[in-house]
Structure 1
Amino acid sequence: MRSTNIKNDLLKDIKVAVDKIIATDTQAMSTLNLTAALRHKILDILVSYSKDIPHPASGMAEHSGLSNTLIRWQVLAYVASIDLTIVKWFESHLDALSILNEIGYGKVAKGLWAVWAAEGHPDPLRYEQGKAIGHKAWCSGAGMVDYALVNYRNSNNQSQLMIIDMHQAGIEINNSEWQAVGMQATDTATVKFCGVSASLVGKENAYLDRAGFWHGAAGVAACWYGASACLASYLTTAYQQKPNDYKAMYLGEIGTALAITQQYLYYAADLIDTEPSLCHELAIRQLRAQIEKVARHTVEIVGQALGAAPFCRNAHFARLSADLPVFIRQSHGAFDLQKIGELTNLLHSNSTHGQANVWQL
């Protein structure tokens, strides 16, 4: 079993910087009830560390010998434990930088980036003579992002990436449809591009075909895990303050699930860093499915153990509990399990070790 006592100096520095920001707000210090202004201050600090946060699949850190992918996930999990809105913005920013790095784009402008890749709007985004025209839905941070890395379907119906400077005239942001309670503060909107300048980057299907697509998907799951672990810590504290049998039972149930999932995160990070050219789709789909299940279970079990009080009187607990069920719907539920089944069957069929059962020890 991998030890949980792992030294991550970058994470330590980020924690110190974030704690200093929170310490300036008396209310936030006592309740972790974040104002919009404080969220943006924390985000600005995090973005300032962007160049120090390793890309996924970038090997082992020189000084610590840690997996660089794990270092990245630890940062994301920590930010998620503070606030899922902030980590939603920050993960998208880091993902954009990693995508551009992977496809060999070196002219990355300073500022806040986002990846907006949802499809399905009836007036889809198009690229005509250097201009972006049409709509993009599900754009988190739409009103605050400096640069958007977006995809569209070209004339060959292939996915193509382009960069759009969001400080242009001709961009309309409509968040009237965003009625969420959980993740309400993410500033998620449908954006209309009315013939604004855009730059194509990468080859056709570079976004979907690169190995990093799945490496990035695992990073989102690390955010889910970070929030789940934080909610579980409230149960640990409650048991330490007032121990009883039923709290111990719930703590044992959740602690086991989180510990197993933690080990799988360590395994997946090592897998990505030791075989960076492979996408590891099956392993990462399984990781996401496991963390989604643990997240749902944690919200339910911790709530049963602690009752209504923290939902009603603890701003941080209440916010995480409301946000997490919405965030994990970035998973695709039954469709993901279907794909895991298909890939597992393929693994059985292609087994080269003479094993009839790939789960055999």
Structure 2
Amino acid sequence: MRASETVGRGVREQEPPTFGDEERRTGRIAARLVEEIASGGLDLPLPGSGSTWVRWERLRDLAREDLSLARLAEGHTDAIAILSELGGWTPEPASVWGVWAAHPPGTPLIADKTGGRWRLHGAKPFCSGARVCTHALVSADVAGGERRLFAIRTDGTKPRPGTWASAGMAASDTLTVHFDGVGAEPVGRPGDYVGRPGFHHGGAGVAACWFGGALAVARPLAARAGRDEADAHLLSAFGAVDRELYAAGSVLRRASREIDDHPLDRSSAAVRAARVRAVVADTCTRVLRRTGEALGAGPLAGDVVYARATADLCVYIRQHHAERDLAELGTLVASGTWMSGADDY
């Protein structure tokens, strides 16, 4: 028998992996989210209200605890901010909201109006909190090629289990959701969701979650660096990580102040969000690499909190699209006024 056949047979005969623990973790995270909402822990200042850093600080701290929890909290609080900015439904007490607005290539989610009532048909991928959210803001295509935001109750939706393959961010319960005539109420006019300044403020707020995730990943390196036996190589790695985190934290704090100073300036909001996301995503990448190289495989194999934080962060920062988003940033700032804007730096 050839070696390749032996290996193949051995793989087939192994017990299939079980995900019961991840399912329990998903349940724990959902319960934790509901607890935070019920206790008022997610009654955060709105972006641009004068306390944007307080809002981001809370998201950062939740991310340092668990990135999947922070992802759900960010979605809930973003939905509340959108409803405040665009009008629409008044959130019911203890309701749990998500923002389901991804539009990857494929079959679009369609909204049509029949008998004076809007209904949604199709499927929407990347719906975080698919089984815990009681309500969601959902973007869908309408006649004429426009895209519009709708508020829904989720009791008529059908989350599809098994549509999230990665171990990273698994507890955020991010699934593809099917809609078969689900009733919907429009929020704002077509284009309002992405056309408002708050769209970019919310995008920068996601980076606060990434930042908290990077702090969680760096925690075991910081602990080891504080021991007497830490060598120069480990201390150098920790010094580099501290430099990156300090820079990213400073960028976030400055951005929060600028948002509070100019909450309705959409053009500056777009540039700011692109810069913040680029800086923080790059910091996360560097922290993941430096920490992983300094600590080796041991913590990944033996420290479940660190291993999950690493897996979660690797997935979450892929909301930043690397070179594509940098090209968009370059397009935004590459104008005749760039040199006169040196005060930005």
Out of 22, 40, 54, the residue aligned to residue 30 of structure 2 is 40
TM-score in terms of structure 2 length = 0.86
CA deviation string 1:219-270 (max 9, x = no partner): 1110000110222222111011232211111111111111111111110000
Q: Matched residues in 2 for 1:278 and 1:50: separation?
A: 29
Gaps of 5+ in 1: 1-33, 60-67
Aligned to 2:324: 335
Deviates most, 133-142 or 88-97: 133-142
Aligned to 2:106: 121
Q: Matched residues in 1 for 2:262 and 2:340: separation?
A: 25
TM-score in terms of structure 1 length = 0.82
Pairs within 5 Å for 1:1-361: 35-48=25-38, 49=40, 52-59=43-50, 68-105=51-88, 107-110=90-93, 111-119=95-103, 120-129=105-114, 130=117, 131-168=119-156, 171-241=157-227, 242-279=229-266, 280-346=269-335, 349-351=336-338, 355=339, 358=342
Please say if residues 108 and 140 of structure 2, whose CA atoms lie closer than 8 Å, have aligned partners that are also in contact: no
Question: For residues 89 and 334 of structure 1, do their structure 2 counterparts lie closer, same or farther at Cα, with a shift above 3 Å needed?
Answer: same
Secondary structure of the residue that 1:358 maps to in structure 2?
Answer: helix
Please say if residues 175 and 188 of structure 1, whose CA atoms lie closer than 8 Å, have aligned partners that are also in contact: no
- Give the C-alpha shift of residue 72 in structure 1: 0.7
- Give the C-alpha shift of residue 350 in structure 1: 2.2
- Give the C-alpha shift of residue 278 in structure 1: 1.3
Q: Matched residues in 2 for 1:143 and 1:244: separation?
A: 47
- Give the C-alpha shift of residue 127 in structure 1: 2.6
Deviates most, 249-258 or 210-219: 249-258
Q: Matched residues in 2 for 1:260 and 1:187: separation?
A: 32
The amino acid across from 1:327 in the alignment is Y
- Give the C-alpha shift of residue 52 in structure 1: 2.9
The amino acid across from 1:38 in the alignment is R
- Give the C-alpha shift of residue 357 in structure 1: 7.8
CA deviation string 1:59-108 (max 9, x = no partner): 1xxxxxxxx11001111111111111111111111111100001133522
Please say if residues 129 and 173 of structure 2, whose CA atoms lie closer than 8 Å, have aligned partners that are also in contact: yes
Gaps of 5+ in 2: 1-23
The amino acid across from 2:102 in the alignment is A
CA RMSD across the alignment? 1.9
Aligned to 1:25: none
Please say if residues 42 and 73 of structure 2, whose CA atoms lie closer than 8 Å, have aligned partners that are also in contact: no
Question: For residues 308 and 87 of structure 1, do their structure 2 counterparts lie closer, same or farther at Cα, with a shift above 3 Å needed?
Answer: same
Deviates most, 183-192 or 91-100: 183-192
The amino acid across from 2:53 in the alignment is L
Question: For residues 177 and 44 of structure 1, do their structure 2 counterparts lie closer, same or farther at Cα, with a shift above 3 Å needed?
Answer: closer
Question: For residues 337 and 359 of structure 1, do their structure 2 counterparts lie closer, same or farther at Cα, with a shift above 3 Å needed?
Answer: farther
- Give the C-alpha shift of residue 360 in structure 1: 9.2
The amino acid across from 1:151 in the alignment is S
Matched residue pairs, number? 313
- Give the C-alpha shift of residue 215 in structure 1: 0.2
Secondary structure of the residue that 1:35 maps to in structure 2?
Answer: helix
Please say if residues 29 and 172 of structure 2, whose CA atoms lie closer than 8 Å, have aligned partners that are also in contact: no
The amino acid across from 1:270 in the alignment is R
Please say if residues 107 and 122 of structure 2, whose CA atoms lie closer than 8 Å, have aligned partners that are also in contact: no
Percent of aligned pairs with the same residue?
A: 31
Please say if residues 30 and 132 of structure 2, whose CA atoms lie closer than 8 Å, have aligned partners that are also in contact: no
Q: Matched residues in 2 for 1:236 and 1:176: separation?
A: 36
Please say if residues 95 and 216 of structure 1, whose CA atoms lie closer than 8 Å, have aligned partners that are also in contact: yes
Please say if residues 161 and 200 of structure 1, whose CA atoms lie closer than 8 Å, have aligned partners that are also in contact: yes
- Give the C-alpha shift of residue 41 in structure 1: 2.9
- Give the C-alpha shift of residue 359 in structure 1: 7.2
Secondary structure of the residue that 1:52 maps to in structure 2?
Answer: coil
The amino acid across from 1:314 in the alignment is D
- Give the C-alpha shift of residue 297 in structure 1: 0.9
The amino acid across from 1:325 in the alignment is C
- Give the C-alpha shift of residue 309 in structure 1: 1.6
